[in-house]
Chain A
């Protein structure tokens, strides 16, 4: 396997995307008045009638270039354009509509930042902002991201395996699960102070993995995408990426990683246990109660005419690497 050191400053072809993707359209939609815009008008918490006329200038969050290893032997996949990756986000802390995090998260402070790794381990530790990109060798991982809502993206993440981090704290044999928590800071996160904006879920956001899932080489702690540090709407400064599970498992803006004995009650499980299980492995033969999971729409480029509905694969196409973890389990019961 050829691994070359790579400093990402130049643009890739797939990166050159029309800026019009996220510029302008909100203003246009709002300008179009009440007919179709019911949810747009009422939900944004900050926007109101006056804002349509006085265009608010948002200073975009500054992302920094990263240096990382690239594995050139991986099969080529069509990437989702960066503009779409950073403007279509489920991050309810910054609004439950997909365009809101990109609008409401730009002033998010990620430095200083601390992640504590604690619980059932011998050497608990705390990582500071600077360590996030320096403690481990960073690598690029191009993963498919399958949302439970049946759309998907292909994203070039940059990060390090969670296993490398967990090995550092020496988990005890009593550690069976890993619990992650997102920052709880209602001052900065409008969705946490306004239930309507925040989608009515409980905060702080909690996710979890079984320890063997957490130690799987695919499980990534991501600190960047498309060659740069993460923008806030994608979970800056550090987030989890578990590519064989539905996107909501991949918790953003993590401040706590804790080794525990019991299976945690995760956020979406708390809200609707019959719809969002603890495992949440991508599984085309187990439907969400309200929609089919057999296929998905792959978001790349192209408007309405993009013929992008594709079959969903078991474990999102990563069965070879992870199916063993679930040997002997009834996946329709442990969904």
Chain B
């Protein structure tokens, strides 16, 4: 039945699903947290939820290309930017929750933690990358930037590695969850082995 649906409708449908799947949980979790229905410590809960959510979405955005190629469904690619933007939204909310609800706008403590705690610093580096990617995601900018757009957006791979390190480093004990995530990043990057190898070689030759 699916094959009779026009390409454009499939894209719209897919985007609709992404909006629902990404936006509803975010709204629900904020509602629960604001009304003190999110367990004893809503602050910790919402920080973890948005953090892991951002990571899941980032991994999903990296999964789209290999899946689209494997199933020969190019319309998947049309939804990739949306997933990436939601990853950025979750990451933004993750940091905002930390600053606003955990540190409660103690800016000096925020800056202090940023400098002194390597895992927070690394998380912030990843966020800077996601921020740059989100800001340059407009089609007009993409056209203006030409080849450098793709170069910039290859930094997604570095962001994924940084987020994995950030997660691994933040955990108190019991490393199996972070290890599984590291493995997922490794697999997603391994699927792009030749591209990444090419990128690395090119950057060495340029130097």
Chain B interface residues (CB < 8 Å from chain A): 21-22, 24-26, 28-30, 32-44, 46, 48-50, 52-53, 55-57, 90, 97, 100-104, 106, 109, 112-113, 116-117, 119, 169-170, 172-177, 180-181
> Given the interface contacts A38-B56, A199-B173, A201-B173, does A303 sit within 8 Å of B35 by beta carbon?
yes
Which B residues are CB-close (under 8 A) to A271? 173
Contact of B41 among A92, A151, A292 (CB under 8 A): A151
**What is the CB-to-nearest-CB distance from A53 to chain B, in angstroms, rounded to a whole number?**
18
| Cα separation A201 to B173 with both chains bound (whole Å) | 7
| Cα separation A107 to B16 with both chains bound (whole Å) | 44
A contacts with B, residue count (CB < 8 A): 55
For A36, A84, A149, the residue with the greatest tally of chain B CB atoms inside 10 Å of its CB is A36
From DSSP, what is the main secondary structure of chain B's interface residues?
helix
Contact at B40–A87, with CB atoms within 8 Å? yes
Contact of B36 among A43, A302, A309 (CB under 8 A): A302
9 A-B pairs closest in CB distance = A88-B40, A36-B53, A84-B40, A303-B36, A36-B49, A32-B25, A199-B174, A200-B174, A38-B52
Tell which of A19-27, A181-189, A314-322 binds the partner. Answer: A19-27
What are 30 A-B contacts with C-beta separation under 8 Å? A18-B36, A18-B37, A25-B38, A28-B28, A29-B29, A29-B49, A32-B24, A36-B49, A37-B52, A38-B55, A39-B52, A80-B40, A85-B40, A98-B40, A98-B41, A195-B176, A196-B174, A199-B173, A200-B176, A291-B113, A292-B116, A295-B106, A297-B41, A299-B40, A299-B41, A304-B30, A305-B34, A308-B104, A309-B102, A309-B103
Chain A interface residues (CB < 8 Å from chain B): 18, 20-22, 24-25, 28-29, 32-39, 42-43, 80, 83-85, 87-88, 92, 96, 98-99, 149, 151, 195-196, 198-201, 271-272, 287, 290-292, 294-295, 297, 299, 301-309
Contact at A38–B177, with CB atoms within 8 Å? yes
Contact at B176–A28, with CB atoms within 8 Å? no
